[in-house]
Chains A and B, each alone.
Chain A
Amino acid sequence: MMLVISVTWMDGRQENYPASRHFVKDGELVVCEEYGITGGVKDEWHFPLVNIRVWKPER
């Protein structure tokens, strides 16, 4: 099942991102979607946690 993380900015704008991996690093939420079996091909976003609310569905 593909996990989708919802990010809501302070102005109420909401964005959804596919995430095969996500973690917090240096005060930022790192959302990563990897493609292919060998990995290496990916999209990755870094969001400042002070500016967002995050909603993650239970798997």
Chain B
Amino acid sequence: MSLTPAELAAARVFRAAQRALLERKNASEPPGITVSVHVRNVRHDCEAKGGKSVSLELREHYAFSPELYVCRCGVVEVFNVDSSHWDCDGGVKVPARRFGFIFTEGRCGCGMTARSGDSRLVDPAVRPPAARAVVS
């Protein structure tokens, strides 16, 4: 199923905003291991266990997109009736939960954090949150 131009614009803005949040999190709390978003278990040599190799589960963090407004002038923003673009003629509302943003994170007992360096933008109708996902 293809996206409408408005959905495409909204998806790009939502993904960019979520990626920026993830980058800020990585900068403020740098992970001990950076992995692909497709990794769900990763081994690391745990100092608390004398350097023994232990597995660490990365849980999915799943964020739904808010209701977005795509103005005909090109501005995309979270829908707000007070927005100066709300009365622009020809804007399109993209409903909330139209997109999902996924990254993964896990913490070992020793305190070491593993986090995905990349992320995924998904259609919640096709790819809903996993069973044990942290949903926001």
Interface residues of A (CB under 8 A from B): 26-27, 30, 32, 35, 40-48, 50
Contact = CB atoms under 8 A, between A and B. Distances in A.
Contact of B39 (A35, A40, A41, A43): A43
Interface of B: 36, 38-43, 53-55, 120, 122, 126-127, 130
Interface majority SS (helix, strand, loop, mixed), chain B: strand
29 contacts: A26-B130, A27-B126, A27-B127, A30-B40, A32-B41, A35-B43, A35-B53, A40-B55, A41-B53, A41-B54, A41-B55, A42-B41, A42-B43, A43-B39, A43-B41, A43-B42, A43-B43, A43-B55, A44-B39, A44-B41, A45-B36, A45-B38, A45-B39, A45-B40, A46-B38, A46-B40, A48-B120, A48-B127, A50-B126
A44 B126 CA distance: 22
Interface majority SS (helix, strand, loop, mixed), chain A: strand
A30 B131 CA distance: 15
Nearest to A44: B41
A9 to B, nearest CB: 10
A42 B40 CA distance: 10
A50 B42 CA distance: 24
A29 B41 CA distance: 14
Contacts of A30: 40
Given A35-B43, A44-B40, A45-B39, 11 more contacts: A30-B40, A32-B41, A35-B53, A41-B54, A42-B41, A42-B55, A43-B41, A43-B42, A43-B43, A44-B41, A48-B120
